[in-house]
Amino acid sequence: MTSFDPHAAWRRTPSVVLRPEPFGALVYDFGSRRLSFLKDLALVRVVEALNRSASALAALQVAGIAEADHPRYLAALRTLASAGTITPRQEAIAS
């Protein structure tokens, strides 16, 4: 299980794709062939923002998540990290 550090850089795992749906997104991992769901449109924005953000916290900003909601979204990201949907990103952000 990957431990989740909100100050670190994360990304959507390369074998994972998100398919937008009215309620959020379908998540499919071509590696494990597992289908799961993001039941929240804002969480979809957060996950999509990870790749271009310096940290998970920064991604919450980019996605416009209100401060008060941060704990909820960080908890969701922690779950996604343990499921392998998102993984730590090493390379620096070109910006």
Partner 1 sequence: MTLTPARPAVPRLVDQFELGLDAPICLTWELTYACNLACVHCLSSSGRRDPRELSTEQAKAVIDELQRMQVFYVNIGGGEPTVRPDFWELVEYAVDHQVGVKFSTNGVRITPERAQWLAASDYVDVQISLDGATAEVNDAVRGRGSFDMAIKALQNLADAGFQDSKISVVVTRENVRQLDEFQELADRYGATLRITRLRPSGRGADVWDELHPTAEDQRFLYDWLVAKGERVLTGDSFFHLAAFGDALPGLNLCGAGRVVCLIDPVGDVYACPFAIHDTFLAGNLLDEGGFQKVWQESALFTELRSPQTGGACTSCSAFDACRGGCMAAKFFTGLPLDGPDPECVKGNSEHALAGDRTVPATSQDHSRPAAVVLGMPGRPTSIPDRFCNESPL
Is 83 a residue that touches partner 1 (CB under 8 A)?
no
C-alpha span between 73 and 30 (Å, rounded):
25
Q: Is 26 or 74 the residue whose CB approaches partner 1 more closely?
A: 26
C-alpha span between 82 and 68 (Å, rounded):
24
Q: Which of residues 40-59 bind partner 1 (CB under 8 A)?
A: 41-42, 45
SS3 content of the chain, % helix, strand, coil (to 5): 35, 25, 40
What is the x/- site pattern for partner 1, positions 16-35, by CB under 8 A?
A: -x-xxxxxx-x-x-x--x-x
Q: Is 23 or 82 the residue whose CB approaches partner 1 more closely?
A: 23
Positions of E strands within 1-95: 10-12, 16-21, 24-29, 34-38, 86-88
Stretch that binds partner 1, among 4-12, 37-45, 50-58, 69-77 (CB under 8 A): 37-45
| Nearest residue to 86 (alpha-carbon basis) of 48, 42, 30 | 48
Residues that bind partner 1 (CB under 8 A): 17, 19-24, 26, 28, 30, 33, 35, 37, 39, 41-42, 45
